[in-house]
Amino acid sequence: MLKDTFYNIEKTESVEDTFRTVVKLNDSHEIFKVHFPGNPITPGVCLLQIGLELLNDKFERDLRLIKAKNIKYLKVISPVENPIIEFVIKYRIENDLIIANINIVRDETVFTKIEATYKGL
């Protein structure tokens, strides 16, 4: 939905139950023109969607978010100041559920923390 328009994947690495994906935000995307003009900020819902899309790619299936237990927006993400961000996703599988802890970072800065449960379709 947002891949290849709102963001592009630069690289992905996987080790055991964790994968790291570096994404580049497209600061000229229409969303940034309205959120907010002259001071673009990445909407939280877009960060949730990117996390979902990365999990869909990882597990090669369509997942749906069924529970967001804990979401912490710690620092705004400007596509101008921080066009490159990294999604660090640690997951576990329980029955037909994927429980994921998603940290959105750049270097030492943590922008967002998400703890969510997804179900496969």
pTM above 0.75, yes or no: yes
DSSP H helices, the chain, are: 30-34, 44-59
Residue 16 located in a structural domain: yes
Residue 41: what residue type?
I
Residue 83 located in a structural domain: yes
3-state helix, strand, coil in the chain (%, to 5): 15, 50, 30
Residue 79: is its pLDDT beyond 90? Answer: yes
Q: Are 54 and 8 in contact (CB under 8 A)?
A: no
Residue 121: is its pLDDT beyond 90? Answer: no
Residue 57 located in a structural domain: yes
Give pLDDT, residue 52.
98
The tally of domains found in the chain comes to 1
The CATH number for 86's domain is 3.10.129.10
User: What are the two backbone dihedrals, phi and then psi, of residue 106, each rounded to the nearest 5 degrees?
Assistant: -150, 120
Give pLDDT, residue 111.
98
Q: pLDDT band for position 27 (50/70/90)? A: very high
Please give the residue range of the domain that contains residue 68: 7-120
Cα–Cα distance measured from residue 113 to residue 97, given in angstroms and rounded to the nearest whole number:
19
Q: Are 50 and 29 in contact (CB under 8 A)?
A: no
Residue 1 located in a structural domain: no
Residue 34 located in a structural domain: yes
Residue 81 located in a structural domain: yes
Residue 53 located in a structural domain: yes
The tokens for 80 are: 């101008």
Strand 7-15: give its sheet, edge to edge: 7-15, 18-25, 84-94, 97-106, 109-120, 63-73
Residue 2 located in a structural domain: no
